[in-house]
Structure 1
Amino acid sequence: MSSGGTFDALRGQLHEAATAFADGPGALEGLLRGIVDDVERAVSEPLEIFPVCHHSPASAIAMARRLREKQPKAVYLELCEDMAPLLTELRNCRLPVAVQSFASEVEGFPADWSPLSVVAPVTEASAEYQAIAYALDTPGVELVLVDRSSDHVFQWETPRDSGTPGEPPADEDTALHGDAVGVDIGDLRPRFAELEEHLLRHGRVRHWSEWWHQYVEVPLGDGDHDTYRQVMLLIGSLFRRLAPGDPHKVRVDEDRERYMWTRMREHLAATGTDPADCLYVCGAFHAASRVAEFGVHGSDSFTIGPPSGTKWRHGLIPSSHGAIEAQFGLAPGSVSIAATEWAKNVRRTGVRPYRLEGQAGTKPKKKALPAPVPAPTAVPADRLTGFLRRPPALDPLDEAELLGWSVDIVRAARRSGYLASTADAIAVFETSILLAGMRDRAKPTPYDFQDAAVTCIEKDTVPGRRDVGRLVEIMMGGDRVGQVGYDALPPLARDVHDRLAPLNLRLQQRGVQRALLDIAAQPELERCSDVLWMLRRLLPHGAARPVMGDRSLGERAIQESWDLALGTHQRSLIELGYEGVSIEQVLEQRLRRAAYDPQATAAGVLEAVEDAILYLRSSRLADELGTRALEVLATERSVDGAPEVLRRVRRLLAHYRTAEPALPGWIESFVKTGYAHYCTRLPTAFTDDDATVRQVAAMLGFLFGMEGLALSLGCDRAQLELALAQCHPADPARTALLWAAQTHLGTLTRSTLRERCDDLLGNPLALPAYPRYLSGFLHALEPVPALADFVVEAVSNAFARLPDPLLLPWLPTLIGTLRAGGAELAPLIVREAGRLFPARLTALDSWVPPWRLPQQTPPAPPTAHTDGGVALLAAHPTTCDALADLLGCDGTWATTEPVSGVALLTEHPGTAVALEALLAVG
């Protein structure tokens, strides 16, 4: 392990420290000496290990410097190996973006994990981006991703670790990654909670990001390569050895290290590359590994398991500083501060960073200088001893920088509504220096400045929508949001942009844009309208929102207005591209998936049928899904979806009757099956506590509304009559609903129904339940809309007959029942009341309700006919013959002499009865 005892001096110092601070060189010495052993083992490895921390400016500066010095021929990067083909597309994006692996249909994993998503965010101030840019733009350099694949991420991690059941952040920008699993390089944070608390308390900082900035970023910003590498290895070993012994986490960490070293040895053996010409970029936590497979001469005992059957899609999605902070548990604003620190270090150190050629937002590359000849690799000297002995360097106060910060924050605060002044700028300046001194710092950090600004400006109120802390974050660099360029988009997203090009909008721009479509004047915009309606169906709310215009069966708008935010929801649009090559294909797949889901309902499948007609205009798909709806309805054992089934079937029937020459076979079968199904379920539903009155009314609405079509298709009305005869509800609302159904069938007359309601009003014991009876009558308007006048009569009688001591306590219950039980049916009562009641107040005193008017006796049917009828028949024998054929009467004209009408009717009584019935029907 040791090569000449490089770290013997450091071991001696740690032995003395352990003896002085402990009761003997026991466990503490073993821990400290083990850390030194880890460092020595890593720096002695022939294949150079470069430990990094995720989104660390110090790591990025050290990486850029080392790449220009060493010029490696192969770069091994700790990143999911199946993401390699996407890295070349980074040059078509504006950072930060994230490389994503996505699977909407899973195989080999629990179904509730779907969809699976893995993201690896990339920022400019990250060591991995420097390595990627160097490898892709330097001829003869190979970039090899060696970490486990996206499939193995879910194979090795439980839902608790991977975060699949978690909710995505509510904020728009911090939710750019959704609920994806984050994969990063350099998860360098103490896993021992007590250790992190100890470091924060003694470091006089608020959170881990501030501790790292103060005690690692700043000291290592100017350090040489060997010092940087040994310090990072020391920190990684310390956190690794003090991590809790969670068997699952330990196994996953070690398996990742075995996986990576196995892949590196395979590549070295296949290509014959000299390990001295390679660079292994990994997190400092994994660099201090102790597995047997460690190193180019490690054992080959690890076997990589096969992937599952899940089909993965890969692409780039936009990211942001806020999204990275939210996903990896960093302090708000820390990534923005790191970006500012990165730009400052580049200017201060003179290091020329690597940037992908053609990268969005970058300047053209200058002429490359000749690459320096790499120095021969030697065993690094011990730099840890001097680094640990050296007191912290006091960074002199940069008064100009701090003064500029103070002026800028006051200016930003005034724009946001704060009453800030020059005095506040001076207070922020002085308080920043005071806080830094209290925390043993010679120079205020951005976190000290943020605390001072909040203390001096914000006070106790926030007049605007941003607090001072957020204003400082924006001033320090802001929450930069990346963008995936057109060339890096999947085919579906590019197709959407091409098809919406006639709108002349910058669709990749973030924010809301208004699109006006005058389809009548420009018919070609109708295709854009089709795309927008499908996007509204597929994308989250707000991506495409119609302001004016509607798309429903039988209607087509001639003008539309849309609010579009496709740039803001670019991630969702890109993920659609993982499901298909066009939005029509994706929508068809989703409709089929919803229809054939084991938990699908008849109402849900009918919705899919309607969407297939509205958005895809596909009769083939509509017929297929309609047949599926018929199958689902036949197997349903509840009536929960009856209202939705009724609403959608009515709409589909109206569409087919007006737009098609004949009804499709599936909807005829659906009506026939639904008639028999609801007749069978009706007696149970009337007494089932789980079925609501609205659902039972919807069943009756289906039976009464579709009765004509069902009878023409061969259904028997006796089935409905028998079903109603078997209904015996006890609930007042259902009882009233049953009375309404019997009235519709003719088994209960209006007068009998009126008498029953009068009996309820006259029975003091029944008065508390009267609002529930009215609720049942209100729901009965769905199947029997002709009862609207009777419902008005029932309510009016209650107001007229009940005394105030009974009416006033009962009135709130009545209003609440009507509002909660049938708000959508109340307009029927209002219209009917407007028809029955007088239009003017002055006519109310003399107004008599129609139901109190004396009922007129209908005229008696004629018992005899005059001779004029016979003469009329004789004058038109052809008409008489046709009428006789229609009635099925056979015979000839007996005589041409006039015959009295009474004698004729007496001679042919059957014809007389038929004529009387025909006249009554007419």
Structure 2
Amino acid sequence: MTAPAPTGLFGPLRDQLTDAAAAFAGSPDALAGILTGMVDDVDRALRERLEIFPVCHHSPASALAMARRLRARPPKVIYLELCEDLRPLLDELRNCRLPVAVQAFATELDGFPAEWSPLSVVAPITEASAEYQAVAYALDTPGVELVLVDRSTDHVFQWTPRDDTGPAPGPDSASADDDTALHGDAVGVEIGDLRPRFAELEAHLLHHGKVRHWSEWWDQYVERPLADADHDTYRQVMVLIGSLFRRLRPSRSARDERDEDRERHMWTRMRQHLAESGADPADCLYVCGAFHAASRVEQFGLDSTAPDFPISPRTGTRWRYGLIPSSHSAIEAQFGLAPGTVSIAAANWTAAVARTRLTPYRLAGQRTGKKGRRARAAAPAATGPATDRLSGFLAAPPVLDELDEAELRGWCVDIVRLARRNGYLASTADAIAVFETSILLATMRNRARPTPYDFADAAVTCIEKDVVPRRRDVRRLCEILLGGDRVGQVGYDSLPPLARDVLDRLRPLGLDLERRTVQRALLDLRADPALAPCSDLLWMLRHLLPADAVRPIMGERRLGHRSEQESWDLALGRNQRALIELGYEGVTVEQVLEQRLRRAVRGPDATAARALAAVEDAIRLLDSPRLVDELGARAVELLAAERTVDDAPEVLRRIRRLLAHHRTTTPALPAWCRTFVTTGYAHYCTLLPTAFVDESTGVRQVGAMLGFLFSMESLALSLGCDRSQLELAVAQAHPEAPAKLALLWAARHQLGLLPLARLREQCAELLANPLVVPAFPQYLSGFVHALEPVPGLAPFVVETMSSAFAGLPDPVLLPWLPTLITTLREHGPELVPLLVREAERTFPATLPALDAWTPPWAATPTPSTAPAPSPGTGPVHGLLVAHPEAVDAVAALLGCSGDWQPLAEGGTSPGDGASVLLAAHPATAHAVATLLAD
């Protein structure tokens, strides 16, 4: 639908632009169509019965114009371009310190791809914005209704293109990649996105405007000229800019179609509200971005005859709403603004309010730290018919502000002082240089008064030079000087129940946890047992929140152990967003933790190792036997369903720890533990032959499988498993890789199928074969991993390695050593300490003793010629006489009965069970006697 060409108000301007286009381009067609079309858009917006107030997001000029308009002609209904389901959150702004962001959050999706979870939409709000002025006026003025007319957060994602990688950024957003951004990866929604939609136009404007980025161009050519403009001039210029950017787009895109659907949605909602409420359009105000004010959709205007835009129903996704803290840097990162843009806008807003003596709107009870001033009446806005202000504005030369030497001098002195505090060798001469360079740069850029951007460039040139000490550069110092990265805060009353519950439960610590500084908490649980609930809560928060929010300095919480003294660094105020989003998941921390543990074991990427980790967390943090049994049963299901053994080392480590914990704390093992052992025994026996020959399965995984089978063997056999499963699995294994072959030999030795003497002979044969010697480190790697299932092989591994070092010649040994070291470091770093301890026990401790030392495996045992003492003589007999109870117990186990009657030397007694035992096994008695003699 195209509006008719204006014939009255903007007729002369239209004729001027047509003539200028013909003279400039030689043809009045294309360029004239664009220029006159812009004038048509302005005329169409001004002729609309519902007053349209175009704004730009975080623009002090828009905020000033809004405050003037509201004080001059207070409306009764304000339609605001913001997601319609965020309306209840706006009442909570009075309990916060700006900037904050209203947020919609969803983790349980219904109607969206599961890969998109979690969904998050934020709309940041600062004091230097027109939307905040409108909200503050509407909420604190009786009889004024605030209506949000943009599509809901659910429709934001309904209209988002779907792909296989997750949600794309929304139509009014840019993803935040800065780690310091408080919004995370949420989709951002803003009012008044005024920025060229293609790079060529933006580059052209920046080049001819002699500025570095878009924010500086906007500040110089739009923000400052409109700061003191009257109401009609402001509206006409803003609509003209929105029309310019809209008409200069090279081609239509999917984003353009979504923008037009948003405009249809907003006009439909406004018409519906007017029909239902009966409000007079003359008492209403429509606040939207300047881009949308120049809309050409068929539903534009209250007099349009086009049908209402069909609005699809929302999905079944359950949305949760709340306020989260925001910051200037978070807004800049999310919406692609230059660093420092929002801080400079806040500084300009403060200066403009002081210069114009206009009292802005501020919500009653707003936490700002400043005392509000009494409202001052503004100059009355134009109430008569609109006049052509565009012609005068476009024809008038730019107004050059006079140089404010006092302001610039103060900036220069302060930046030198701040630079010296941060390690720069700045002096008075640098302050003078910054002053003069700022004026020079402003003159080169056609402005008489240096802007904050000119000052920042001059400071970097004169102070930073080529050295950047410490972590703050001069440009960052300029941002701090001009206002800094202001961070908002959500008040206690606006926090979700979970966040308030956390602050209440941690109140015994005596700290102000709403502060953004890091605070140290000391807990002496032995002296003050009442702090135990605080300790439990802190450990749960440690599991749920980012690492820097709750950080333990002293103390630990592991299975079966609780520290008596703890020390914590707490930064909950700095991580308020994460704490608030926990409140979207439940009412208490315990409920959220339980839900997350269940989600971890039920998700598509759940494994047996993760399930066992969840069991550990449930025991350590929640102490809930019911939940532990549920998670343990799920771990059994996941283990039985796994077809790989990649997590075998993690499974072995965790199940060992859990079994040790239950054996020391419960009278009997839980049912899920017994089932896990039997299932794991059968599972790993089944996969063992394939794992030995599979190249994708590492030696560490095979060693962990054998460690599970051998270390759990006695328990598994007592629970009904058959040892023949393991023997058959080992017999079916035929590996070719050296490391796995060594593992197989160790397993056969543990089963009694390969004696140690034969294993020693095989290793000697390998060292004697020149073709095998280069691969011998791989065999050693396998033997090192064999220490997991067969720890008794540690002396043999030390012996084998020592034999290799002693027997190999230097030309072979020296190239071989790097391979050995890298192999052990890569495959068995956690098992090498076992070898070191064994070597420490084997080798002499001093260098002189090494010369006369003979390795135990090289010493030839000399047979003893002395007759073995009889069972009834020697120190063994004395030991048995002194402690008859132990002998009686052993005799009873062996089925020998009879009274204990000590034998005389050399005598026997048929009724003496101990004597019969000693007589039957004289070698044992001799060995014990030898040990006692030593």
TM-score (norm 1): 0.93
Aligned residue identity for 2:655: V
For 1:455, which of 461, 466, 480 is the aligned residue? 461
Q: 1:482-561 counterparts in 2 under 5 A?
A: 482-561=488-567
Q: Residue by residue, what CA displacement relative to the aligned partner does 1:458-505 show, whole Å, maximum 9, x if unpaired?
A: 111112321111111111111111111111111111111111111122
1:873 alignment partner in structure 2: none
1:314 alignment partner in structure 2: 321
Q: 1:283-682 counterparts in 2 under 5 A?
A: 283-298=289-304, 299-365=306-372, 377-682=383-688
1:875 alignment partner in structure 2: none
How far apart are the structure 2 equivalents of 1:65 and 1:243? Answer: 33
1:850 match: secondary structure: coil
Aligned residue identity for 1:312: W
1:317 match: secondary structure: strand
Q: 1:717-736 counterparts in 2 under 5 A?
A: 717-736=723-742
Offset, 1:518: 1.0
How far apart are the structure 2 equivalents of 1:819 and 1:756? Answer: 25
2:107 is aligned with 1:104? yes
Q: Residue by residue, what CA displacement relative to the aligned partner does 1:16-72 show, whole Å, maximum 9, x if unpaired?
A: 111111222111111111111111111111111000000000000000000001100
How far apart are the structure 2 equivalents of 1:59 and 1:375? Answer: 15
For 2:48, which of 30, 45, 49 is the aligned residue? 45
Offset, 1:169: 2.9
1:162 match: secondary structure: coil
Seen in structure 2, the aligned counterparts of structure 1 residues 799 and 604 have a Cα distance that, compared at 3 Å, is same
Offset, 1:598: 2.4
Seen in structure 2, the aligned counterparts of structure 1 residues 861 and 611 have a Cα distance that, compared at 3 Å, is farther
Seen in structure 2, the aligned counterparts of structure 1 residues 886 and 327 have a Cα distance that, compared at 3 Å, is closer
> Does the 8 Å contact 1:44/1:379 carry over to 2?
no
> Does the 8 Å contact 2:601/2:634 carry over to 1?
yes
Between 236-245 and 687-696, report the one with greater CA deviation.
236-245
1:719 match: secondary structure: helix
Aligned residue identity for 2:575: H
1:198 alignment partner in structure 2: 204
1:86 alignment partner in structure 2: 89
2:822 alignment partner in structure 1: 816
Aligned residue identity for 1:234: L
1:871 alignment partner in structure 2: none
2:761 is aligned with 1:755? yes
> Does the 8 Å contact 2:231/2:382 carry over to 1?
no
In the alignment of these two chains, the number of paired residues is: 898
How far apart are the structure 2 equivalents of 1:369 and 1:349? Answer: 11
> Does the 8 Å contact 1:887/1:914 carry over to 2?
no
Offset, 1:512: 2.0
> Does the 8 Å contact 2:160/2:170 carry over to 1?
yes
Offset, 1:753: 0.8
How far apart are the structure 2 equivalents of 1:271 and 1:203? Answer: 48
Aligned residue identity for 1:62: A
Q: Residue by residue, what CA displacement relative to the aligned partner does 1:232-259 show, whole Å, maximum 9, x if unpaired?
A: 0000011011123233111100000011
How far apart are the structure 2 equivalents of 1:856 and 1:880? Answer: 32
> Does the 8 Å contact 2:414/2:481 carry over to 1?
yes
> Does the 8 Å contact 1:276/1:377 carry over to 2?
no
How far apart are the structure 2 equivalents of 1:211 and 1:634? Answer: 64
Seen in structure 2, the aligned counterparts of structure 1 residues 514 and 810 have a Cα distance that, compared at 3 Å, is same
How far apart are the structure 2 equivalents of 1:861 and 1:586? Answer: 75
How far apart are the structure 1 equivalents of 2:67 and 2:563? Answer: 58
1:125 match: secondary structure: coil
1:798 alignment partner in structure 2: 804
2:168 match: secondary structure: helix
1:678 match: secondary structure: helix
2:195 alignment partner in structure 1: 189
1:651 match: secondary structure: helix
1:844 match: secondary structure: helix
For 2:707, which of 701, 705, 711 is the aligned residue? 701
Aligned residue identity for 1:450: A
Offset, 1:914: 14
> Does the 8 Å contact 1:458/1:467 carry over to 2?
yes
Seen in structure 2, the aligned counterparts of structure 1 residues 595 and 165 have a Cα distance that, compared at 3 Å, is farther
Q: Which runs of 5+ in 2 are unaligned?
A: 162-166, 873-884, 900-905, 929-934
> Does the 8 Å contact 1:865/1:902 carry over to 2?
no
Aligned-residue RMSD, C-alpha? 3.0
Offset, 1:902: 12
1:792 match: secondary structure: helix
How far apart are the structure 2 equivalents of 1:164 and 1:744? Answer: 66
2:227 is aligned with 1:224? no
Seen in structure 2, the aligned counterparts of structure 1 residues 576 and 435 have a Cα distance that, compared at 3 Å, is same
2:777 is aligned with 1:771? yes
How far apart are the structure 2 equivalents of 1:646 and 1:881? Answer: 40
Q: Which runs of 5+ in 1 are unaligned?
A: 867-877, 894-899
Seen in structure 2, the aligned counterparts of structure 1 residues 304 and 352 have a Cα distance that, compared at 3 Å, is same
1:262 match: secondary structure: helix
Seen in structure 2, the aligned counterparts of structure 1 residues 13 and 794 have a Cα distance that, compared at 3 Å, is same
Offset, 1:300: 2.8
1:244 alignment partner in structure 2: 250
How far apart are the structure 2 equivalents of 1:261 and 1:754? Answer: 88
2:12 alignment partner in structure 1: 9
Offset, 1:366: 5.2
Seen in structure 2, the aligned counterparts of structure 1 residues 382 and 164 have a Cα distance that, compared at 3 Å, is closer
1:162 alignment partner in structure 2: 170
Offset, 1:261: 0.7
2:880 alignment partner in structure 1: none
Offset, 1:438: 1.2
2:743 is aligned with 1:740? no
Offset, 1:804: 1.6
How far apart are the structure 1 equivalents of 2:70 and 2:171? Answer: 35
Seen in structure 2, the aligned counterparts of structure 1 residues 604 and 458 have a Cα distance that, compared at 3 Å, is same
> Does the 8 Å contact 1:51/1:283 carry over to 2?
yes
Offset, 1:275: 0.6
1:339 match: secondary structure: helix
Offset, 1:98: 0.7
2:561 match: secondary structure: coil
How far apart are the structure 1 equivalents of 2:74 and 2:923? Answer: 104
How far apart are the structure 2 equivalents of 1:434 and 1:371? Answer: 37
Between 500-509 and 266-275, report the one with greater CA deviation.
500-509
Offset, 1:724: 0.6
Seen in structure 2, the aligned counterparts of structure 1 residues 164 and 179 have a Cα distance that, compared at 3 Å, is farther
> Does the 8 Å contact 2:171/2:258 carry over to 1?
no
> Does the 8 Å contact 1:357/1:365 carry over to 2?
no
Offset, 1:916: 6.8
Offset, 1:157: 1.9
1:231 match: secondary structure: helix
> Does the 8 Å contact 2:14/2:39 carry over to 1?
yes
How far apart are the structure 2 equivalents of 1:311 and 1:879? Answer: 70
